């Protein structure tokens, strides 16, 4: 069994409503040092070992876990090897 | 003329569309998301609700339903497809319409009747004069439409923007009139051909004057008249 | 039989689980031996206050619970009344106070989920939600977090499952600061013949678990929480928080209704507090059968779960069905079609014993009845609290009241801006109010109106309780809770049919609290009898205390009324210039416990308004007769803030002013802000004024013609002259500004 | 200016409906190898340099960015140093 971590974030230039709201809320709470907050998704998948494992995880991201119109993602495996889109 | 209303797991406005259609005398029936045959239907409606709980992204899972392959082919042949609210979200996830939905600015669900302005459009689902103002409820958490600048310009140039959020007098406020933060105040768009139409407001909620109003009627009846060649 | 507890260890575990020594002894007698771990857990939950009503059972017998159209009274998952033409309405209200105080979003969301399951378990399709909320003042960040989170949770769940949230109420008062109240009410509609019972019967039939997997979440959750006093240490109980899955619930609604429609089930129950233990033992009790459950069949969410964990888990979105072996395949096919898991976890037996096993090993074996029916019943001590005499003796006339139009006008604006009076749109804008297309009147008026599709009829619904009145006099306060709900429903044109209630109190083991509880139940019962309206369901929530002191007694009423002709429904807003304004009822000098006293003077004392149940009912009947005769253009009752606020609300809602003169001899502040019960602001067309007043005269109800609708100002002669714009500016933004932290309630109290 | 990455996940034993839905959806799409999916939040904050920077970021998590009742979080700074709660 293998484990992958996936980080989904909005593409450059796409407005991030939860991030923007958190930014404002933190400033209101007195955290004047805040310059920016971006909120994305952190996904952990466990898959049975198999051929093309990593490519298939990327496919899952393309199809379902991320929306390529607005989001990009980065996949990190247990050894720390990274792929991104 | 027969409408097919797709039921996805988690849809919750499908019976509302059916009730509204029947009220307007439109023949209508449900289509199960697992079906792969939609012959016999002249228009397809993807209803509002929370397909698959809206958990990953709104519409993200529903677009892989077996029926969606047929819906895409139906649209490609020029068949009229309407997506209301969650249906609109599914249409963007399926790339049948451009853009995507973000969470509402302010991160709150909004249920409210709002003024909307008809734009100059190629959309086959409407024929109201440009500038007409209608009042229709919105009811969503993720209706903040976004697209890159180029897409937005193209939508505008092609007459693909169908409906905009506006002020009660039909003007658009300088800071934006969209309660959800939508780009260019966009509330509804269509594809280039005008047969696929997605909108966040719920026209089926304002069809029966006994209950709520009639401003939603044309969004269901126009296509019927058009297909009948009236 | 696995005996995993020694005679020494068992009583120790019993204490840890909250059982009293005498209760433990009773278990030993029932079993004739030392209980197992699983048995102790099962008894401790079933005999907890939350599940057994051991402190409240006797008092609740005061409620009238029958009536010609009652199809199901208290005792099932929800009460059911017939509303004509073969249609029936099921409804119930329930608290989720303690889970919401820990995690407001999930606490409130799972509260909605639970009450919705109670409704479709009866065979009814859920058609409307309401809620009744209490928080401390919103000046503190924690209170804002609780308020924002629970409203979002109620919306998040109800919106997703496609059930409109059509009304509710909310009050803010320091009394609720350490213990917010989240009461959720749900209403369902069904054909009478589809009425279902949560019953197990037929030895050899199969027990089917439908829906979500079972995890450790919520172990010792709601029931333990709801039965223990709440203090600062509560945060340690965090891991028992349950996360709601409204998508799964939506599938359960559709699948269960389809299963019932196809007559594939013998019985259906939902898993709520105390999980499988509660639903299985209650179903067995009702059917006078035994059950044999194998926990190793239950789909687990986590590894290594113990038998007792399976039996008491409060994982959400699960239902228990009993099916015959012949219909099993068809039943499971429907579950599969809706994407739901369904698993046979046991069988019905004729032994009347509840046997739990893990594979071949028996881990619990007890008489099934004893879990649900043999819980101890207590007669708690009662004492009238000492604070009452002093509080009631307070004389509001000793305060310096404004007398000039300027002073009175500013007092009106302050009362309108009070968090307890101001616009609730910030809340209900987050709720889908219309899905299913039956909402004829949305939140914002006195009662919501929901049509019964396919008939001319509709129901009107309202939840009400002024906790301040109940604090000052629980007997009268509870009567007023009922009267106000009935009045709200009457203002919409509905005749009260039945109520549900949610009785929120502190610890019943405190004699003062129990006295207030007993008085409230007595008051509510008397009001119900006077109106001939039965109580068909309800819920008791005790141990609502924080930092040692109880909340205000809060016996909330959820009332459902019926309109024979939905097109005759009434609304509160002023309709046309020139319409005549009539005040039904007569104002007395009753500022005790009023919103004015609290907002303008910072005083919560005095005797609450008196209530004459006969007079109150006569006024509702007169109003309903006038509405049915088509003589009324608008109707709105006077509640918090008195007639001044009622008139202002009619004006704001209609964007139309009025000029009136109040014909009483009271001091101006009393005239405007007194909260005398049984008063309704009614308007009619000028041409109908005579007919309307004749009708009121013939019915012998007090009224006065006070003025005329028109203009863009509210003018109350010699007292108030304010533009609607200014009234609205005070009334509209309060909640949003408080939530954003832009406003402190202190500022609202200053003139 | 300093940058922190924050990973917010449900605590052990807390049910994760989005993750469970993604699991089923991926299986339906033919990814039979999927054993589990967990969905959390991935947050990037940029803060002006200052004393107690990291402690203040942890505080922001406790107060606003994570819900300590049901979630836990891990903070990683630009150098990869980790703190968690
Ligand atoms: N928590 C809530 N959820 C939904 N609607 C609410 C809530 N609180 C108040 N409302 C709605 O706001 C309106 C005013 O409420 P309230 O002041 O309690 O009315 P009344 O004084 O007539 O009982 C009502 O329509 C009520 O249903
Ligand atoms: Mg009222």
State residue C234's pLDDT score. Answer: 43
Q: Which residues surround ligand 1 with Cβ inside 6 Å?
A: C 131, 133, 165, 167-170, 424, 427-428, 443-446, 464, 488, 639
Task: Kindly determine whether residue B64 and residue A65, on different chains, have CB atoms separated by under 8 Å.
Answer: no
Nearest of C40, C241, C275, C65 to residue C149 by alpha carbon: C241
Which residue is closest to B11 within chain C, CA to CA? C162
Please tell me the CATH code under which domain B2-228 is placed.
3.40.50.880
pLDDT average, residue stretch B202-216: 95
Lowest-confidence region among C497-506, C703-712, C724-733, D73-82: D73-82
**Segment C371-396, tens digit of pLDDT:** 988 999 999 999 999 999 999 999 99
Given the residues B14, B70, B119, B202, the one annotated as active site? B202
Ligand 1 pocket test, pick from C167, C482, C638, C735 with the greatest ligand atom count within 8 Å of Cβ, gives C167
Residue C446 alpha carbon to ligand 1 centre in Å: 7
Compute the nearest-CA separation of A29 from chain D (Å).
9
pLDDT mean over C291-305:
95
Predicted pLDDT at D79:
80
C123, C190 contact by CB (below 8 A): yes
Domain boundaries, chain B: 2-228
Q: Is the pLDDT of residue C721 over 90?
A: yes
Largest CA distance in chain A: 51
Percent share of chain C, pLDDT over 70: 97
Cα-to-chain-centroid distance, residue C419:
20
Read off the pLDDT band of C232 (50, 70, 90): very low
Would you state the pLDDT for residue A79?
A: 81
Kindly provide the b/e burial profile for residues C723-748, where b requires at least 16 CB atoms within 10 angstroms of the residue's own CB.
ebebbbebbbbbbbbbbeeebebeeb
- Average pLDDT on C169-184 reads 97
Instruction: Tell whether C103 is within 8 A of chain B (Cβ).
Output: no
Q: Which pLDDT belongs to residue D85? A: 77
Residue C518: active-site member: no
Residue nearest to atom 2 of ligand 1 (CA): C168
Chain segment B125-171, per-residue pLDDT in tens: 999 999 999 999 999 999 999 999 999 999 999 999 999 999 999 99
Spatial strand order in the sheet of B186-190: B27-32, B2-7, B43-46, B81-84, B196-199, B186-190, B161-165, B110-118, B133-140
Note the pLDDT of residue C5.
87
CA–CA gap between residue B94 and residue A85 (Å, rounded): 19
The answer to whether B72 faces chain A, any CB pair under 8 Å, is: no
Q: Are C637 and C492 in contact (CB under 8 A)?
A: no
As a whole number of angstroms, the distance between CA A39 and CA A22 comes to: 9
- What pTM was estimated for this model as a whole? 0.95
Q: Would you say domain D2-84 falls under CATH 3.90.1150.10?
A: no
State yes or no: is B111 an active-site residue.
Answer: no
> Do D38 and A26 make contact, defined as CB atoms within 8 angstroms?
no
Q: Which of B13, B85, B123, B166 is catalytic?
A: B85
Higher pLDDT, B1 or C698: C698
Judged by DSSP in three states, C214 sits in strand
- Of C222, C303, C150, C226, give the one whose Cα is nearest residue D12: C303
For residue C401, with 0-12 CB atoms within 10 Å meaning exposed, 13-18 middle and 19 or more buried, which class applies?
Answer: buried
Q: How far apart are CA B13 and CA C163, in angstroms?
A: 10
pLDDT in tens, C407-443: 999 999 999 999 999 999 999 999 999 999 999 999 9
* Chain C residue numbers touching B19 (CB-CB < 8 A): 437, 453
Share of chain C above pLDDT 90, in %: 91
**Where does the pLDDT of residue A82 fall: very low under 50, low under 70, confident under 90, or very high at 90 and above?**
confident
Q: What is the mean pLDDT of chain C?
A: 94
- What is the model's pLDDT at position C238? 38
Give pLDDT, residue A28.
Answer: 87
Read off the pLDDT of each residue in C475-501 and give the average, rounded to a whole number.
98
Quick one: average pLDDT of B199-212?
96
pLDDT of residue B14: 98
- Residue C397 has a CB neighbour count (10 Å cut-off) of 11
Tell me the C-alpha distance between C655 and C713, whole Å. 9
Give C118's pLDDT tier (boundaries 50, 70, 90). Answer: very high
- pLDDT tens digits, C1-21: 777 888 889 999 999 999 999
Residue B89 has φ and ψ, to the nearest 5°, of -60, -40
Greatest extent of chain C over all pairs of C-alpha atoms, in Å: 85
Q: B204 an active-site residue?
A: yes
For ligand 1, the distance from its centroid to the CA atom of residue C746, given in whole angstroms, is: 23
Looking at beta carbons, which residues of chain B come within 8 Å of C245?
53
How much is the pLDDT for C222?
37
Confidence of residue C228 (pLDDT cuts 50, 70, 90): very low
Q: Using the 8-state DSSP alphabet, how is residue C209 labeled?
A: E
Give the residue, by CA position, lying nearest to ligand 1 atom 17: C421
Model ipTM? 0.95
Contact B118, B166 (CB under 8 A): no
A-chain residues within 8 Å CB-CB of D7?
42
Q: Do β-strands B27-32 and B2-7 pair in parallel, antiparallel, or remain unpaired?
A: parallel
Contact B142, B54 (CB under 8 A): yes
Residue C237 has pLDDT above 90, yes or no: no
Cβ neighbours, 10 Å, residue C246: 28
The answer to whether residue C139 scores a pLDDT higher than 80 is yes
pLDDT at residue C750, rounded to an integer: 62
**If you average pLDDT over every residue of chain B, what do you get?**
97
Q: Whose CA is nearest to atom 6 of ligand 1?
A: C168
Give mean pLDDT, residues D46-72: 93
Strand (E) or helix (H) holding C46: helix C37-46
Q: What is the pLDDT of residue C403?
A: 96
Over residues B90-136, the pLDDT tens digits come to 999 999 999 999 999 999 999 999 999 999 999 999 999 999 999 99
Question: Which among C96, C518, C573, C620 is annotated as catalytic?
Answer: C96
Chain C: list its partners (3+ Cβ pairs within 8 Å).
B, D
Q: Residue C300, Cα to own-chain centre: how many angstroms? A: 33
pLDDT-based confidence at residue C546 (cuts at 50, 70, 90): confident
Per residue in B54-78, pLDDT (tens digit) is 999 999 999 999 999 999 999 999 9
Catalytic one of B93, B119, B142, B204? B204
For the CA atoms of C37, C38, C39, C41, the dihedral, rounded to the nearest 10 degrees, stands at 90
Section C63-91 average pLDDT: 96
Q: Where are the beta strands (DSSP E) in C161-227?
A: 165-172, 181-191, 206-211
**Residue C742 above 90 pLDDT?**
no
Residues of chain A contacting residue B104, judged by C-beta atoms under 8 Å apart: 17
Residue identifier of the C-alpha nearest atom 13 of ligand 1: C444
pLDDT given at position C253: 98
């Amino acid at each position: 069994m293998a484990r992958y971590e996936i980080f989904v974030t909005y593409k450059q230039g796409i407005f991030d409503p939860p991030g923007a709201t958190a930014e404002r809320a933190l400033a209101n709470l007195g955290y004047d040092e805040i310059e920016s907050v971006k909120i994305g998704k952190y996904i952990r998948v466990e898959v049975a070992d198999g051929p093309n494992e990593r490519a298939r995880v990327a496919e899952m991201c393309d199809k379902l876990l991320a929306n390529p119109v607005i989001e990009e993602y980065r996949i990190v495996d247990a050894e720390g090897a990274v792929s991104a889109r | 003329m027969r409408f097919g209303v797709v039921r996805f797991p988690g849809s919750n406005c499908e019976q509302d569309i059916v009730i509204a259609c029947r009220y307007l005398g439109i023949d209508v029936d449900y289509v199960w998301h697992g079906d792969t045959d939609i012959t016999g239907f002249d228009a397809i409606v993807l209803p509002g609700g929370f397909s698959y709980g809206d958990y990953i992204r709104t519409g993200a899972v529903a677009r892989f339903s077996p029926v969606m392959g047929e819906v895409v082919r139906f649209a490609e042949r020029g068949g009229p497809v309407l997506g209301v609210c969650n249906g609109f979200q599914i249409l963007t996830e399926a790339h049948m319409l451009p853009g995507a939905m973000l969470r509402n600015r302010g991160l709150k669900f909004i249920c409210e009747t709002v003024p909307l302005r008809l734009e100059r459009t190629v959309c086959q689902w409407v024929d109201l004069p440009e500038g007409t103002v209608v009042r229709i409820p919105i009811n969503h958490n993720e209706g903040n439409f976004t697209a890159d600048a180029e897409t937005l310009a193209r939508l505008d140039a092609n007459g693909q923007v169908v409906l905009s959020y506006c002020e009660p007098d039909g003007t658009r406020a300088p800071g934006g009139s969209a309660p959800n933060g939508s780009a260019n105040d966009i509330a509804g768009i269509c594809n280039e051909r005008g047969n696929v139409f997605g909108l966040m407001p719920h026209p089926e909620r304002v069809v029966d004057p006994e209950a709520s109003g009639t401003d939603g009627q044309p969004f269901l009846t126009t296509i019927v008249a058009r297909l009948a060649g009236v | 039989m696995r005996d995993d507890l020694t005679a020494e260890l068992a009583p120790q575990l019993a204490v840890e689980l909250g059982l009293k020594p005498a209760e433990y002894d009773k278990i030993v007698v029932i079993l004739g031996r030392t209980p197992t771990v699983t048995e102790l857990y099962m008894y401790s939950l079933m005999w907890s206050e939350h599940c057994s009503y051991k402190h409240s059972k006797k008092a609740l017998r005061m409620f009238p619970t029958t009536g010609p159209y009652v199809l199901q009274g208290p005792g099932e998952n929800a009460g059911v009344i017939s509303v004509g033409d073969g249609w029936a309405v099921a409804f119930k209200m329930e608290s989720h106070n303690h889970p919401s105080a820990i995690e407001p979003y999930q606490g409130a969301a799972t509260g909605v989920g639970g009450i919705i399951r109670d409704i479709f378990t009866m065979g009814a399709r859920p058609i409307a939600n309401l809620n009744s909320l209490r928080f401390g003042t919103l000046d503190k960040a924690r209170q804002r977090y609780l308020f924002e989170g629970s409203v979002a949770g109620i919306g998040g769940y109800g919106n997703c499952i496609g059930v409109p949230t059509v009304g509710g109420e909310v009050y803010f008062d320091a009394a609720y600061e350490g213990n917010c109240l989240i009461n959720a009410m749900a209403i369902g509609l069904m054909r009478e013949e589809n009425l279902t019972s949560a019953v197990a019967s037929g030895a050899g039939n199969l027990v089917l678990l439908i829906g979500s997997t079972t995890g450790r979440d919520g172990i010792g959750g709601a029931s333990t929480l709801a039965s223990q006093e709440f203090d600062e240490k509560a945060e340690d109980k965090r891991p028992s928080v349950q996360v709601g899955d409204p998508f799964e619930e939506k599938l359960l609604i559709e699948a269960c209704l389809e299963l019932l429609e196809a007559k594939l089930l013998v019985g259906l129950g939902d898993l709520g507090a105390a999980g499988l233990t509660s639903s299985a033992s209650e179903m067995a009790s009702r059917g006078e059968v035994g059950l044999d459950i194998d926990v190793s069949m239950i789909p687990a969410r986590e590894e290594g779960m113990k038998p007792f964990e399976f039996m008491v888990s409060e994982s959400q979105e699960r239902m228990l069905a009993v099916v015959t072996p012949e219909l099993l395949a068809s039943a499971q096919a429907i579950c599969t079609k809706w994407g739901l898991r369904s698993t046979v976890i046991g069988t019905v037996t004729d032994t009347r014993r509840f046997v739990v096993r893990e594979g071949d090993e028996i881990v619990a074996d007890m008489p099934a009845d004893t879990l649900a029916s043999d819980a101890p019943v207590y007669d708690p001590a009662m004492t009238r609290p000492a604070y009452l005499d002093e509080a009631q003796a307070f004389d509001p006339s000793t305060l310096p009241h404004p007398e000039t139009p300027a002073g009175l006008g500013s007092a009106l604006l302050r009362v309108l801006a009070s968090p307890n009076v101001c616009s609730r749109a910030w809340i209900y804008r987050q709720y889908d109010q219309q899905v299913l297309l039956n909402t004829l009147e949305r939140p914002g008026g006195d009662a919501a109106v929901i049509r019964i599709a396919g008939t001319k009829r509709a129901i009107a619904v309202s939840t009400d309780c002024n906790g301040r009145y109940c604090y000052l006099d629980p007997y009268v306060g509870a009567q007023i809770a009922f009267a106000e709900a009935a009045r709200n429903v009457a203002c919409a044109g509905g005749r009260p049919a039945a109520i549900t209630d949610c009785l929120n109190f502190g610890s019943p083991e405190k004699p003062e609290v129990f006295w207030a509880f007993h008085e409230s139940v007595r008051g509510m019962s008397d009001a119900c009898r006077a109106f001939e309206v039965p109580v068909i369901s309800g819920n008791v929530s005790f141990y609502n205390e924080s930092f040692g002191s109880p909340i205000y007694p809060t016996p909330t009423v959820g009332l459902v009324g019926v309109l024979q002709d939905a097109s005759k429904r009434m609304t509160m807003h002023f309709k046309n210039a020139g319409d005549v304004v009539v005040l039904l009822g007569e104002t007395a000098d009753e500022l005790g416990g009023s919103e004015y006293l609290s907002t303008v003077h910072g005083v919560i004392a005095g005797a609450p308004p008196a209530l004459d149940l006969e007079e109150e009912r006569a006024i509702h009947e007169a109003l309903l007769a006038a509405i049915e005769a088509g003589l009324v253009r608008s109707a709105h009752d006077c509640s918090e803030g008195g007639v001044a606020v009622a008139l202002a609300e009619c004006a704001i809602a209609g964007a139309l002013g009025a000029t009136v003169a109040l014909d009483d001899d009271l001091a101006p502040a009393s005239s405007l802000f007194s909260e005398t019960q049984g008063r309704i602001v009614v308007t009619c067309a000028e041409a109908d004024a005579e007919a309307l007043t004749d009708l009121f005269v013939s019915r012998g109800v007090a009224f006065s013609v006070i003025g005329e609708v028109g203009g863009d100002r509210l003018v109350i002669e010699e007292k108030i002259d304010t533009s609607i714009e200014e009234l609205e500016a005070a009334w509209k933004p309060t909640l949003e500004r408080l939530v954003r932290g832009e406003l402190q309630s202190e500022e609202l109290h200053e003139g």
